Structure 1
Amino acid sequence: MRIAYFTDTYLPQINGVTNTLKKLGDYLNDRDIKHMFFAPHFNEKFISSDNSPVARFKSISLPFYPECRLAIPSYAKLCRVADKFKPDIIHLTDPLGIGLAGLRYGRDRGIPIVSSFHTNFDVYLKYYNMEYLEGVVWGLFKWFHGFSELNFCPSHDTLQVLEDKGIENLRIWSRGIDTSTFSPNYKDMNIRYRLKAEDKIIFLYVGRLAAEKDLDILMESIGIVNFSHSDKVQFVFVGDGPYAKQMKERSFDNVKFTGYLKGRELSAMYASCDVFVFPSGTETFGNVVLEAMASGLPVIAVNSGGVKDNVKNGYNGLMCPPRDATSLAGAIIKLAEDKQFIESLAANAREHAATKSWSYIFDQLVSDYSSVL
Structure 2
Amino acid sequence: MRKILLLVPLTTLEWGTKNMGGVDSVCQMLIKSLQHDPSTDFFYRVIAFDPTNSVNNEGEVIKINSSLEVIQFNIKNPSKSKLAKLPNLLYQIKIIKAQVRNFSPDIVHSHFASWLVGLNKALPTISTIHSYKKIGRKPRGFLNNLLYERILPSLAPLFIERYTCVSKYLKSHIKNDIKKDVSVIYNPIDEAYFNHNKVNNPSSDIAFVTCALIHYKKGIHHIVDVLYLLKQQGYKATLKVIGPESDKDYVNTLKNLIASKDLTKEVEFLGAKTTKEIVNIYQKCDIGIFLSSEETFGLVPIEMLAANLPVQCLNTGVISDLNDSKEKAGLCIYNTVNSIKIAKDAVFLKSNKVKVNNDFIHELFSVGKVINDYENLYKKTISK
TM-score by length of 2: 0.76
| CA distance in 1: counterparts of 2:176 and 2:370, whole angstroms | 25
1:4 and 2:5 correspond = yes
| CA distance in 1: counterparts of 2:362 and 2:306, whole angstroms | 7
Any conservation in 1 of the 2:113–2:127 contact (CA below 8 Å)?
Answer: no
In the alignment, which of 290, 299, 306 is matched to residue 318 of structure 2?
306
In the alignment, which of 285, 294, 299 is matched to residue 282 of structure 1?
294
| CA distance in 1: counterparts of 2:22 and 2:137, whole angstroms | 20
Partner of 1:359: 368
Partner of 1:236: 240
Partner of 2:215: 210
Deviation of residue 338 (structure 1)? 4.7
Any conservation in 2 of the 1:59–1:72 contact (CA below 8 Å)?
Answer: no
Deviation of residue 334 (structure 1)? 2.4
| CA distance in 2: counterparts of 1:147 and 1:45, whole angstroms | 29
Other structure's SS at 2:118 match:
helix
Using a 3 Å threshold, how does the CA distance of structure 1 residues 366 and 294 change in structure 2: closer, same or farther?
same
Other structure's SS at 1:56 match:
strand
| CA distance in 2: counterparts of 1:40 and 1:135, whole angstroms | 21
Deviation of residue 56 (structure 1)? 0.4
Using a 3 Å threshold, how does the CA distance of structure 1 residues 114 and 308 change in structure 2: closer, same or farther?
same
Where does structure 1 lack aligned partners over 5 or more consecutive residues?
A: 61-69
- Structure 1 window deviating more from structure 2 (233-242 vs 16-25): it is 16-25
Aligned Cα root-mean-square deviation (Å): 3.5
| CA distance in 1: counterparts of 2:103 and 2:287, whole angstroms | 46
Write out aligned runs for 1:139-218 (5 A).
140-179=152-191, 181-183=192-194, 185-187=196-198, 198-218=203-223
Other structure's SS at 2:369 match:
helix
1:54 and 2:55 correspond = no
Partner of 1:317: 331
| CA distance in 2: counterparts of 1:316 and 1:120, whole angstroms | 31
Q: Deviations over 1:177-235 (max 9, x none)?
A: 344x114735468xx7xxxx944111110121122223333333333333324x52111
Using a 3 Å threshold, how does the CA distance of structure 1 residues 9 and 174 change in structure 2: closer, same or farther?
same
Partner of 1:65: none
Deviation of residue 34 (structure 1)? 2.2
Q: Deviations over 1:69-113 (max 9, x none)?
A: x655265554434433332211122244xx1xx432344xx3211
| CA distance in 2: counterparts of 1:309 and 1:299, whole angstroms | 15
1:105 and 2:105 correspond = no
The one-letter amino acid of 2:209's match is L
Any conservation in 1 of the 2:6–2:46 contact (CA below 8 Å)?
Answer: yes
Other structure's SS at 2:319 match:
helix
The one-letter amino acid of 1:94's match is F
| CA distance in 2: counterparts of 1:75 and 1:16, whole angstroms | 22
Q: Deviations over 1:313-340 (max 9, x none)?
A: 9733111224x2xx14521332225535
| CA distance in 1: counterparts of 2:63 and 2:24, whole angstroms | 11
Any conservation in 2 of the 1:8–1:71 contact (CA below 8 Å)?
Answer: no
In the alignment, which of 25, 33, 36 is matched to residue 27 of structure 1?
33
- Structure 1 window deviating more from structure 2 (37-46 vs 273-282): it is 37-46
Write out aligned runs for 1:7-86 (5 A).
7-8=8-9, 11=12, 12-29=18-35, 30-32=37-39, 33-40=43-50, 42-44=52-54, 53-59=70-76, 71=89, 73=91, 76-86=94-104
| CA distance in 2: counterparts of 1:178 and 1:141, whole angstroms | 30
TM-score by length of 1: 0.78
In the alignment, which of 93, 106, 113 is matched to residue 88 of structure 1?
106
1:330 and 2:338 correspond = no
Partner of 1:123: 135
Aligned residues between the structures: 343
Any conservation in 2 of the 1:41–1:56 contact (CA below 8 Å)?
Answer: no
Where does structure 2 lack aligned partners over 5 or more consecutive residues?
A: 13-17, 78-87
Using a 3 Å threshold, how does the CA distance of structure 1 residues 161 and 5 change in structure 2: closer, same or farther?
same
Q: Deviations over 1:297-352 (max 9, x none)?
A: 11111123332123569733111224x2xx145213322255354x33x333x233
Using a 3 Å threshold, how does the CA distance of structure 1 residues 296 and 119 change in structure 2: closer, same or farther?
same
Other structure's SS at 1:53 match:
strand
Any conservation in 2 of the 1:42–1:59 contact (CA below 8 Å)?
Answer: no
The one-letter amino acid of 1:56's match is F
Q: Deviations over 1:153-180 (max 9, x none)?
A: 111111111113344211011133344x
Other structure's SS at 1:234 match:
strand
Using a 3 Å threshold, how does the CA distance of structure 1 residues 128 and 113 change in structure 2: closer, same or farther?
closer
Using a 3 Å threshold, how does the CA distance of structure 1 residues 232 and 216 change in structure 2: closer, same or farther?
closer
Any conservation in 2 of the 1:10–1:17 contact (CA below 8 Å)?
Answer: no
Deviation of residue 124 (structure 1)? 5.3
